[in-house]
Amino acid sequence: MTRLFVFGLGYAARAIAAAAGGAVMATTRDGRDGTIRFDDEAAVRAGVAAATHVLSSVPPEGDADPVLARYGDTLSGKWLGYLSSTGVYGDTGGAWVDEDAPADRGRRANRNAADAAWRALGARVFRLPGIYGPGRSALERVAAGTAQRTGVAGQVFSRVHVADIAAGVVAGFAAPPGVYNLADDEPAPQDDVLAFAAQLLGLPAPRVVPLSDLSPAARAFHLENRRVANGRARRVLGWRPLYPDYRAGLRALSATTSPMPASTPPATASGDQR
């Protein structure tokens, strides 16, 4: 029976844990909801020792990967998985990238380094683009009146539904070590996604704001432009996205999302945590 230990039971990792079957133990920063505190070394080491599979969704901090820095010595002999980011490919000017593309060109050098460190350990590294799903999609932002379009022409992003992440990682339980992009089939402009979400909700399309009005972090994100290929996940994992494009994903989610006053904050899920 699979015994999965998850470092960082955040949004995506919760979906993976639910899909995995078998026994699951996990960490968070504060030990909420029956999880283990990340800094409870005795409990963490005992949990990892009992596990057959170990998955980390904890992002790097400073110059280090917190999981490898603190618990790297416990991982030998386990199936290893790591949730990385397609951001490691950097800006490609809209060109397609697959897993053989250079992975040290992202804006965050520590993410590039963590991705490489997990690969060196023989992990299955799942590179993820923009994640959306229940409670965390363009629908909530549009409904709350917080979404903004940029009007930048020719700019595309890849994205993936959280249920498709879970299916891809579970498929990876029987796959060889390596890198797998889990992205949908249709990279698209974020402005198109927001406009379609508004259409589903019967609301006006979000207003357009210039890039110069965005925060530095948001501006840097929107200046990147790439298409992420998922062919290796299809070939090796036998994975097919249940939601192959943003329209399919948002249509499925729209059945449970209603317009709300602009002053009401959108429902959100916590990010991946230790």
Query: Residues 176-212: pLDDT tens digits?
Result: 999 999 999 999 999 999 999 999 999 999 999 988 8
Phi, psi of 123 (to 5 degrees): -80, 160
Residue 262 lies in a domain: no
Average pLDDT on 35-56 reads 98
Residue 12 lies in a domain: yes
Is the per-residue pLDDT at 94 higher than 90?
yes
Residue 8 lies in a domain: yes
Is the per-residue pLDDT at 4 higher than 60?
yes
74, amino acid identity: T
Residue 265 lies in a domain: no
H-helix or E-strand containing 253?
helix 246-254
Q: CB atoms < 10 A from the CB of 180, how many?
A: 26
Number of domains in the chain: 1
Residue 208 lies in a domain: yes
pLDDT in tens, 148-185: 999 988 899 999 999 999 999 999 999 999 999 999 99
Contacts for 168-172: CB closer than 8 Å, 24+ residues apart: 168/126, 168/233, 168/237, 168/239, 169/16, 169/19, 169/20, 169/55, 169/81, 169/83, 169/124, 169/126, 170/16, 170/19, 170/20, 171/233, 171/237, 171/238, 171/239, 172/81, 172/124, 172/126, 172/237
161, amino acid identity: H
In which domain, by residue range, is 99 found?
3-254
pLDDT at residue number 221: 78
165, amino acid identity: I
Q: How confident is the model at residue 263 (pLDDT cuts 50, 70, 90)?
A: very low
Residue 142 lies in a domain: yes
The more confident residue out of 105 and 248 is 248
Residue 248 lies in a domain: yes
- CATH number of the domain enclosing 77: 3.40.50.720
Distance CA 245, CA 230 (A): 13
Three-state DSSP at 202 gives coil
Residue 260 lies in a domain: no
